[in-house]
Structure formats: structure tokens, C-alpha cells
Amino acid sequence: MASQVNPFESLQSQIDDAAAYLDVGDDVIERLKHPERVLETNLTVELDDGSLERFKAFRSQFNGDRGPYKGGIRYHPDVSRDEVKALSGWMTYKTAIVDIPLGGGKGGIIIDPDDYSESELERLTRAFAKELTPLIGVDRDVPAPDVNTGQREMNWIKDTYETFENTTEPGVITGKAPDSGGSAGRVEATGRSTVLAAREAFDYLDKDLEGATVAVQGYGNAGSIAAELIDEMGATVVAASDSSGGIYNPDGFDPVAAKAHKAETGSVVGYEEAEEEITNEEVLTLDVDLLIPAALENAIDADLAEDVEADVISEAANGPLTPEADEVLEEKDVFVIPDILANAGGVTVSYFEWVQNRQRFYWDEERVNEELEAIIVDAFDALVETYEEHDLENPRTAAYVVAIQRVADAFDEAGSFP
Ligand SMILES: NC(=O)C1=CN([C@@H]2O[C@H](COP(=O)(O)OP(=O)(O)OC[C@H]3O[C@@H](n4cnc5c(N)ncnc54)[C@H](OP(=O)(O)O)[C@@H]3O)[C@@H](O)[C@H]2O)C=CC1
Ligand SMILES: O=C(O)CCC(=O)C(=O)O
């Protein structure tokens, strides 16, 4: 992480920035700055050598005014209570800006999964699922994948929940493998919305995506798919990175081959078509048309923002810019498509998965992608309308104005207990 800024404070400052443009009382804004509840639990797991290890885990249910809590589960050494609270808040405003009937939640376990075997990770995941079982449910809280979790973990959680509840309810979790009730297009969805949003921004700014240069920080699910799809749209991916470092070729390289190299060796570094090795900071400050941060929070702080040369940033990651970096980039006229819109494809296709699970009727990938595109385009249009109406300098503030109003309206319409 480039900066130690507390992501929960970042979330609250983003809400404050938007509050100035909203006709929502301070008391309601205060409610919308805090999670409704946070589970903190200690999981005791037997390791392969027979010893026991304790892991701390969290699930934050931030807001359920618009529907069941929704959001991923992250396995990472930097997971913390405040990080999970922030991520669950971002989920709340993400589901609101794309206008799907869900709230916001997020979970995490403090662990470096690379240090554990598959069977240890399965016991850990099932232990967490056991703790989550009373809290989650198809109409209550619906987890999904995030950093270092995927179909495998979602399948284990579904199976544990169904075993304890003596039911079959695939919609209790999304991001599953297709044979376990997963949706076509979910794996690609986060990268897809990141590039669809970039396409809309380029169009809005009258910039040509054909031949535009692109740098991608983080080459996991979100980053590698975004690179692949933006290449298909005619842009040129010139740089990419992961936790081991970055690669650069000013003439561009094949993002699919770079992904295959990473699958084989563990990193993009060393990929022969992009011989030049650069640091993660250099990837973030290259003179490119589009920058896609797709790793973790706080990748760009105020100092680094001074050196950013991209014209447009599409945030595949959650919270990659600190609020201070946002201010610097605003002054430099960099158009930032905020995370809550840019990466909302993941949760949108999770919503489609939940709908399909409930109907026990499955869509093909073409339908998933068409419905996703329509939702992202509508959300971008809503952002632009508010951006222009209030003559805002920062698209993030516009997104929060739209999203907070929707959550506040749902809260207001629910009324109160007599
Ligand atoms: N998966 C999803 O559906 C969604 C994900 N997101 C967000 O997208 C971001 C990435 O998630 P996802 O792609 O799922 O996660 P993955 O675990 O698949 O990938 C994360 C990538 O980030 C890299 N990375 C980690 N730390 C650094 C660093 N310091 N510098 C450069 N790269 C780094 C990892 O490197 P290495 O491979 O070396 O470990 C990896 O390539 C997160 O912020 C997540 O919350 C948002 C919406 C939905
Ligand atoms: O698919 C989901 O429900 C949530 C994905 C997620 O965690 C995110 O958008 O940050």
C-alpha cells in the first residue's frame, strides 16, 4: 500500500463531500456513515500438521435499506475491522448507483492464503461459513468473492450453509461455479464494467478509445479481464503489474499471453513481449490515456497523484485513491470514474446470479452481458446528469449524490416505528 490512510475515514469523507449537494438531514447522513452491525469472530482451524491456529474474521452489514446486504469476502493479511467497514459502505453506494435492489456488506479474514494448503483453506472457509450461517440468507445477507477468494470458496460456503440449514439455497451466495448455480459472465463482470465505464467516459470526453494507451495495476480477476476486454475494444495495453512488480512495452503487448505467463510463473514479471520491468509506482504514473488501478486501497496517495499523467482513471479496485489524491487529480483535470460505478459489474452480475438462483432458470452469457451493459450505461448517464447539474469538479461526488439520495429515500419511505 502506498499510504496508510484509514479506508473507513476515506468513505466517510466521500459521504461528507456529497452531503453538501443533498437535501438529506444531517441525522440521516450520520446514519449512512456507519455500519448497522459488524461481526468479529475468531476461527480456530486445525492445520495439516495437527496444530491449531486462530484467525480473526469479520462481516460488516453496513446498510439494508434497499435490500439484503451484499458484498464479497476477502482473504488478505491487511484485512482489518475498519477496512471491512469501509468496503461494506462502498458496497451500499455501489448497489445504489447501479440501482439494483440490494444493500451493502463485506467480509474478510486476516490471512495470507499463499501460506496454507487447500485443505487448510477449506477448513478455514467452512469454519467462517458456520459463523456466518445465522447471519446470512438469500433475503438477509448474500456474500460473494473478493481479493483471494473465488468460485472454490463460494462453493464451500454454499455447501456449509446448506448442510447446517438442511436446504438447497444456491442464492445464499454468488460467484459460484456454473455447475453449482453460478452465473455465466460473473468471472468477467468486474473487468467488463470497468472498461464499459471507461468507454462511456471516453465518449463523454470526446476521446478516442481506439489506439488509446492503457496501464493496469493489479493483474488478478478484475485487472487481467479489464486488460483483455479493453484490448478487444481497440485500445493498447502498454503496462501491467502485480505484487511482484510491473512490465512495460510502449508498443503494447498481448494481455491474454501476459495472463498465461502469470498463470505459469506466478507473476507478469518476466513476460517476454514486455521485457522492460518497471515498479508499481511507475505503472501508476505512466503517461497513458487510461489508468486502471485493480489491486487494493490507497494505491495512489497525494504525493503519487502529483506524478499521475493519465487522462482518465477507471477504478477497478475499491478505494485505490486516497481523498487527498482525489483532490490533486481533480485539480489536474483527471477524469476519475469512481469504484462504486466502475467495478459495479461484479455485484451486478451477482444480482443476476441471485435472480437466476431464485427462479431456478438460467440465462446465457449474451443476455448477462447485454443486461450488464444497459445497467452500467444508465448509471454513467445518471452520474453525468448530476455532475453537470451541480457543476461538480469530481465525478465521485456526483456518484455519491445519486447513490446516497437513493438510500436515504428508501430509509425515509420505510417510515419509523410508532
Ligand atoms: N472480484 C470481484 O468481483 C471484484 C473485485 N473488486 C476489487 O478489485 C480489486 C482486485 O480484486 P480481484 O481482482 O478480485 O483480486 P485478485 O486477488 O484476483 O487480484 C488482485 C491483484 O492485485 C495484485 N496486487 C496485490 N497487491 C498489489 C500491490 N501492492 N501492487 C500491485 N498489485 C498488487 C495481486 O498481485 P499477485 O497476483 O501478485 O498477488 C493480484 O494480481 C480489489 O480492490 C477488489 O475489492 C471490486 C469489485 C468486484
Ligand atoms: O459480487 C458481489 O456481490 C460483491 C463484489 C464485491 O465485493 C465488490 O463489488 O467489491
Using a 6 Å cutoff on CB, does residue 183 contact ligand 2?
no
Q: Which residue's alpha carbon is at the smallest distance from atom 2 of ligand 2?
A: 347
The pLDDT tens digits of the residues spanning 232-245 come to: 999 999 999 999 99
Q: Report H helices in 20-150.
A: 26-31, 81-97, 118-132
Given this model, what pLDDT does residue 174 score? Answer: 98
165 and 198 both lie in a single domain: no
111 and 256 both lie in a single domain: no
Domain total of the chain: 2
Find the 39 Cα to ligand 1 centroid distance in Å: 24
206 and 335 both lie in a single domain: yes
Whole-complex ipTM: 0.99
Find the 223 Cα to ligand 1 centroid distance in Å: 7
Identify whether the C-beta of residue 83 lies closer than 8 Å to the C-beta of residue 42: no
Last residue of a domain, one of 313, 342, 371: 342
Q: Is the dihedral of CA 72, 201, 21, 101 positive or negative?
A: negative
Q: Which residue's alpha carbon is at the smallest distance from atom 7 of ligand 2?
A: 72
Find the 197 Cα to ligand 2 centroid distance in Å: 17
The pLDDT tens digits of the residues spanning 71-85 come to: 999 999 999 999 999
Whether the predicted model's global pTM rises above the 0.95 cut: yes
Residue tagged active-site, from 106, 158, 176, 259:
106
Which of 379, 83, 2 has its CA nearest to residue 72? 83
Using a 6 Å cutoff on CB, does residue 318 contact ligand 2?
yes
Identify whether the C-beta of residue 56 lies closer than 8 Å to the C-beta of residue 91: no
Using a 6 Å cutoff on CB, does residue 350 contact ligand 2?
yes
Angle between helices 81-97 and 365-389 (to 10 degrees): 90
Find the 73 Cα to ligand 2 centroid distance in Å: 8
208 and 96 both lie in a single domain: no
d(C-alpha 41, C-alpha 133), whole Å: 13
Residue 209: give its domain's CATH number.
3.40.50.720
Known binding residues for NAD(+): 190, 221
Find the 182 Cα to ligand 2 centroid distance in Å: 14
Given this model, what pLDDT does residue 1 score? Answer: 44
336 and 209 both lie in a single domain: yes
Edge-first strand order for the sheet with 213-217 is 276-278, 245-248, 236-242, 213-217, 290-293, 312-314, 335-337
338 and 192 both lie in a single domain: yes
Residue 332 lies in a domain: yes
Eight-state DSSP code of residue 3: -
List of E strands, 127-235: 141-145, 213-217
Last residue of a domain, one of 118, 135, 170: 170
**Minimum-distance ligand to the CA of 294?**
1
Point out the residues of the chain with pLDDT beneath 70: 1-3, 418
Known binding residues for substrate: 70, 94, 350
Pocket test of ligand 2: the residue of 147, 350, 355, 372 to mutate, having most ligand atoms within 8 Å of its CB, is 350
333 and 250 both lie in a single domain: yes
Residue 198 lies in a domain: yes
Using a 6 Å cutoff on CB, does residue 143 contact ligand 2?
no
Residue keyed to cell 469530481 = 394
d(C-alpha 187, C-alpha 363), whole Å: 15
Residue 68 lies in a domain: yes
Which of 344, 343, 363, 345 has its CA nearest to residue 353? 363
Structural domain of residue 97, as residue ranges? 34-170
Ligand 1 site: residues with CB under 6 angstroms? Answer: 145-148, 190, 217-223, 241-244, 267, 280, 294-296, 316-318, 343, 346
Given this model, what pLDDT does residue 418 score? Answer: 67
166 and 232 both lie in a single domain: no
Residue 87: give its domain's CATH number.
3.40.50.10860
Identify whether the C-beta of residue 214 lies closer than 8 Å to the C-beta of residue 288: yes
- Amino acid residing at 354: W
Three-state SS sequence of 283-303? HHCCCCCEEEECCCCCCECHH
**Torsion of the alpha carbons at 358, 124, 319 and 94, rounded to the nearest 10:** 10
231 and 307 both lie in a single domain: yes
d(C-alpha 348, C-alpha 182), whole Å: 13
Find the 321 Cα to ligand 1 centroid distance in Å: 15
Q: Which residue's alpha carbon is at the smallest distance from atom 18 of ligand 1?
A: 220
Q: Which atom of ligand 1 is nearest to the CA of 148?
A: 17
Identify whether the C-beta of residue 302 lies closer than 8 Å to the C-beta of residue 328: yes
Is 332 part of the annotated catalytic residue set? no
Last residue of a domain, one of 290, 308, 342: 342
Residue 5 lies in a domain: no
